[in-house]
Amino acid sequence: MAEVTISSKNQIVIPLEARKALNVKAGDKILVTVHDNKMIVFEKPVKWSEAIKGLARAVYPPDYLAKERADWD
């Protein structure tokens, strides 16, 4: 585990091992979420539409959409 120091400008340097693991470089944006006094860092997807594509695919049965459309008529 690498240790970081907060600068006088409240900045930190992300350690090399973390940058490699997250595959980030200078200029990339990342999301930081704090949970239970721990810092968790996530890489921000380039396109949110690509990141969430297909998430609800298995939520509804195969004939659900056809039944909904039939109810509209």
CA angle 10, 13, 18 (to 5 degrees): 135
Q: What stretch of H or E contains 72?
A: helix 64-72
Domain boundaries, the chain: 16-72
pTM equals: 0.51
pLDDT digit of tens for each residue in the chain (73 aa)? Answer: 788 999 999 999 999 998 888 888 898 888 888 888 887 777 766 677 877 888 777 788 888 888 999 998 7
